[in-house]
């Protein structure tokens, strides 16, 4: 929804087809770019991870292979330094050179060393060097007593308590593995085995890429081996990477060296203490990923073009029915309800919209037909109402004429009846207001009593008691009291002997307006009293003026004000009947009762 709203803001005049096409295209482009980017980045990381794993495994395997050879050499050294008869006794022998004894000793020790040396193609020389100047060896290169003054001999004596590894420099590079010879807790010489350098070169030939570089450093930080691809001269930054912190850094990390990115893999051998460090250039490592990236871009462009064509076709087919529906709506807008209908049979929302639209058109036709008929009926009713306006005025004028003639002829009773009748008819026919004050209601009751008393040929005593004159200004529904008084006269006083009367009390109770009408007639039976206001009871005889009985008054009050307002009946047979009406107390200056309710 937010995406569609954004499209509406960007291109408010764009049609639905254009919006669908644009939204589908943008979402497809975003999806393709996101997927391609994720795949490419994962591929790069996978290539780097595989390269690091491969280099680390190769270095580990090279270390393990070298360790196996060195352990074998250590065993040879152990055999030599522990052989007393052949090695120790020969080194400690007092015989001089160029003597028979010396030749015998040299032959015996040389044969012993040759036995150790045979079938070991990775060993180039094995030698026993005594501190007394005696030197015995087999293999090459030549060695004599001058070896005692070399750094190699110094290193072996200082570090050869168990085994010492030293990288010699010379015409044939080799790794020397030595161990001191002791007798009676005194150092008497050194046994030294030289490991061929070709074995080191073959073992550490780890090349994940053609321009990868590998360095092997001994415990002193001296270079033991470097790959053939290593540059002849190195920059200070590369020197710091190769030789700096050689014994501490282990693992793999990505590092820039002289502006070029490398993956540096470092591992320290637990056996020799040597550090192997491989530098793999990222450019050459990821060269294949660049080719795959370009291929992914080409494929993404082709897929995006196919998606756009599909989106165009889909949006066109989707909006076709909408355009048809729009055409029909435009014809309706021009007032043409009998347009040719292009049926839309799809069962989606557009099909539902079409069926609702056609149903609305049919309803609109019926409504317009009903409006034409209503206008015609209204016109006829206006003519009838215009004719009926003459009747009340004619009746008022006729009654006024009767009243005037009764006055001229001295007939006060006819004059009184005519005047009271005029006031009653004005309240019913002339006053369109739905509400009156209590004072006006009492005036209409007096007018009614003035008329009906001539029916019984005797006065009807009606006593009115008002608790507070302010209550007379409260507003009530029109013609509430007259039907009650009419029932009291007809069914109460009219059936009673002489001496009957009606008492009307107006008072307030708990914020409500109470009007009580009581007569001293014969009363009402309980069954009859319950049926007057009940749902199943029959209505009283309607008033000839109002057309409403007691129950009608009760229902009007309930509909207007709700509970607990309305009429309550109290009666005892042979004694009295009392009707209590409860209204909300609403002053004439306040809001209308309908607004209050």
DSSP code per residue over 49-64: HHHHHHHHHHHHHHHH
Measured between alpha carbons, how far is 410 from 406 in angstroms, rounded to an integer? 6
H-assigned helices in 389-518: 390-408, 412-425, 438-456, 481-488
Q: Is residue 495 part of a domain?
A: yes
pLDDT of amino acid 525: 80
pLDDT of amino acid 381: 66
Examine the domain organization and report whether 365 and 494 are in the same domain.
no
Q: Is residue 192 part of a domain?
A: no
Place of tokens 């009747």: 391
pLDDT of amino acid 480: 85
pLDDT at 246 over 60: no
pLDDT at 552 over 90: no
Mean pLDDT of 373-391: 66
Note the pLDDT tens digit of each residue in 109-158.
Answer: 888 888 887 878 888 889 999 998 889 999 888 888 888 888 888 888 88
Reply yes or no: is the peptide bond before residue 141 cis, omega within 30 of 0: yes
pLDDT of amino acid 11: 52
pLDDT at 536 over 80: no
Mean pLDDT of 550-558: 85
- pLDDT averaged over every residue in the chain: 79
Domains: count for the chain = 2
pLDDT of amino acid 388: 52
Mean pLDDT of 57-73: 85
77: phi then psi, degrees, rounded to nearest 5: -60, -40
Q: The domain spanning residue 590 has which CATH number?
A: 3.30.565.10
pLDDT at 12 over 70: no
pLDDT of amino acid 544: 34
pLDDT at 496 over 90: no
Q: Is residue 318 part of a domain?
A: no
Examine the domain organization and report whether 384 and 465 are in the same domain.
no
298: phi then psi, degrees, rounded to nearest 5: -60, -45
Note the pLDDT tens digit of each residue in 179-204.
Answer: 999 988 899 999 999 888 888 788 88
Closest by CA position to 581, among listed 438, 425, 436: 438
- Work out the pLDDT band at 285, boundaries 50, 70, 90: confident
Measured between alpha carbons, how far is 303 from 296 in angstroms, rounded to an integer? 10
pLDDT at 581 over 90: yes
- Which residues, 6+ apart, have CB-to-CB distance to 225 below 8 Å? 197, 200, 201, 204, 214, 215, 216
H-assigned helices in 513-590: 526-533, 550-561
Q: How many other CB atoms sit within 10 Å of the CB of residue 477? A: 18
**Which of the listed residues 329, 354, 389 is the one where a domain comes to its end?**
389
Examine the domain organization and report whether 368 and 466 are in the same domain.
no
Using DSSP, state whether 224 is helix, strand or coil. strand
Examine the domain organization and report whether 585 and 474 are in the same domain.
yes
- Which residues, 6+ apart, have CB-to-CB distance to 457 below 8 Å? none
**Which of the listed residues 389, 421, 451 is the one where a domain comes to its end?**
389
- Work out the pLDDT band at 385, boundaries 50, 70, 90: low
Examine the domain organization and report whether 467 and 551 are in the same domain.
yes
Mean pLDDT of 202-220: 79
pLDDT of amino acid 350: 76
The sign of the torsion formed by the CA atoms of 330, 334, 338, 339 equals negative
Angle in degrees, 0-180, between the axes of helices 550-561 and 526-533, rounded to the nearest 10: 50
Measured between alpha carbons, how far is 2 from 19 in angstroms, rounded to an integer? 13
pLDDT of amino acid 24: 77
Q: What is the pTM of this model?
A: 0.47
pLDDT at 592 over 60: no
- Work out the pLDDT band at 503, boundaries 50, 70, 90: very high
**Which of the listed residues 357, 389, 421 is the one where a domain comes to its end?**
389
Q: Is residue 433 part of a domain?
A: no
Structural contact between residues 438 and 506, judged by C-beta atoms closer than 8 angstroms? yes
Examine the domain organization and report whether 380 and 470 are in the same domain.
no
Mean pLDDT of 425-431: 63
Using a pLDDT cut of 70, give the percent of the chain over it. Answer: 83
- Which residues, 6+ apart, have CB-to-CB distance to 485 below 8 Å? 445, 448, 449, 462, 502, 504, 517
The encoded tokens of residue 418 equal 């005519």
pLDDT at 234 over 80: yes
pLDDT at 514 over 90: yes
What is the C-alpha radius of gyration for the chain, rounded to an integer number of angstroms? 63
Give the range of the structural domain holding residue 552, as residue numbers without chain letter.
Answer: 459-535+547-596
pLDDT of amino acid 383: 61
**Residue 18 vs residues 3, 7, 15, 21, 305: alpha-carbon distances, Å:** 14, 10, 5, 5, 16
Range ranked top by mean pLDDT from 217-231, 258-272, 392-406: 258-272
pLDDT of amino acid 1: 46
User: Which helix (H) or strand (E) covers residue 163, if one does?
Assistant: none
pLDDT of amino acid 518: 92
Examine the domain organization and report whether 480 and 589 are in the same domain.
yes
Q: Is residue 186 part of a domain?
A: no
Angle in degrees, 0-180, between the axes of helices 100-117 and 16-81, rounded to the nearest 10: 150
Q: Is residue 558 part of a domain?
A: yes
Q: Is residue 513 part of a domain?
A: yes
**Residue 476 vs residues 329, 425, 436, 469, 593: alpha-carbon distances, Å:** 53, 19, 6, 15, 8
- Work out the pLDDT band at 545, boundaries 50, 70, 90: very low
Measured between alpha carbons, how far is 59 from 67 in angstroms, rounded to an integer? 12
- Which residues, 6+ apart, have CB-to-CB distance to 233 below 8 Å? none
Q: Is residue 491 part of a domain?
A: yes
222: phi then psi, degrees, rounded to nearest 5: -85, 150
């Amino acid at each position: 929804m937010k995406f569609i709203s954004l499209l509406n803001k960007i291109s408010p005049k764009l049609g639905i087809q254009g919006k669908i096409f644009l939204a589908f295209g943008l979402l497809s482009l975003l999806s393709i770019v996101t997927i391609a980017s994720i795949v490419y980045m994962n591929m790069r990381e996978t290539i780097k991870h595989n390269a690091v794993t491969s280099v680390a495994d190769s270095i580990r395997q090279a270390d393990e292979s070298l360790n196996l050879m060195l352990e074998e050499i250590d065993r040879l050294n152990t055999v030599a330094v522990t052989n007393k008869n052949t090695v120790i006794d020969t080194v400690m022998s007092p015989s001089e050179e160029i003597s028979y004894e010396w030749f015998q000793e040299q032959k015996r020790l040389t044969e012993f060393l040759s036995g150790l040396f045979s079938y070991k193609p990775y060993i180039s020389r094995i030698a026993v060097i005594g501190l007394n100047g005696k030197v015995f060896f087999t293999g090459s290169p030549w060695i004599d007593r001058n070896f005692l003054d070399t750094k190699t001999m110094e290193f072996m004596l200082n570090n050869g308590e168990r085994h010492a590894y030293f990288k010699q420099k010379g015409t044939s590079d080799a790794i020397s593995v030595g161990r001191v010879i002791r007798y009676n807790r005194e150092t008497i010489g050194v046994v030294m085995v030289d490991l061929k350098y070709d074995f080191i070169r073959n073992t550490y030939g780890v090349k994940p890429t053609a321009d990868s570089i590998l360095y092997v450093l001994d415990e002193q930080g001296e270079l033991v081996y470097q790959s053939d691809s290593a540059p002849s001269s190195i920059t200070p930054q590369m020197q710091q990477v190769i030789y700096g912190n050689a014994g501490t850094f282990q693992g793999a990390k990505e590092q820039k060296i002289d502006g070029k990115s490398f993956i540096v893999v470092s591992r320290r051998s637990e056996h020799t203490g040597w550090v192997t460090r491989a530098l793999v250039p990222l450019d050459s490592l990821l060269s294949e990923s660049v080719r795959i990236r370009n291929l992914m871009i080409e494929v993404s462009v082709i897929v995006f073009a196919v998606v756009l064509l599909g989106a165009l076709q889909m949006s066109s087919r989707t909006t076709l029915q909408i355009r048809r529906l729009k055409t029909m709506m435009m014809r309706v807008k021009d007032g043409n309800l009998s347009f040719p209908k292009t049926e839309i049979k799809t069962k989606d929302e557009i099909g539902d919209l079409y069926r609702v639209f056609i149903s609305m058109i049919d309803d609109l036709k019926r409504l317009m037909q009903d409006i034409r008929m209503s206008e015609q009926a209204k016109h006829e009713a206006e003519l009838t109402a215009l004719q009926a306006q003459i009747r009340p005025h004619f009746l008022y004028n006729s009654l006024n004429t009767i009243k005037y003639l009764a006055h001229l002829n001295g007939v006060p009773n006819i004059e009184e009846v005519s005047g009271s009748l005029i006031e009653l008819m004005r309240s019913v026919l002339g006053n369109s207001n739905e509400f009156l004050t209590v004072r006006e209601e009492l005036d209409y009751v007096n007018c009614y009593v003035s008329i009906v008393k001539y029916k019984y040929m005797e006065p009807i005593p009606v006593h009115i008691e008002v608790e507070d004159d302010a209550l007379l200004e409260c507003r009530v529904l029109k013609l509430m009291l007259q039907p009650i008084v009419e029932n009291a006269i007809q069914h109460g006083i009219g059936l009673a002997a002489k001496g009957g009367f009606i008492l009307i009390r107006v008072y307030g109770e708990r914020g409500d307006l109470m009007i009580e009408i009581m007569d001293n007639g014969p009363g009402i039976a309980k069954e009859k009293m319950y049926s007057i206001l009940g749902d199943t009871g029959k209505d009283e005889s309607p008033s000839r003026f109002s057309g409403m009985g007691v129950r009608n008054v009760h229902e009007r009050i309930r509909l207007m004000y709700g509970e607990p307002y309305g009429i309550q009946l109290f009666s005892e047979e042979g004694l009295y009947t009392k009707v209590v009406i409860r209204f909300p107390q609403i002053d004439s200056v306040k809001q209308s009762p309908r607004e209050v309710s």
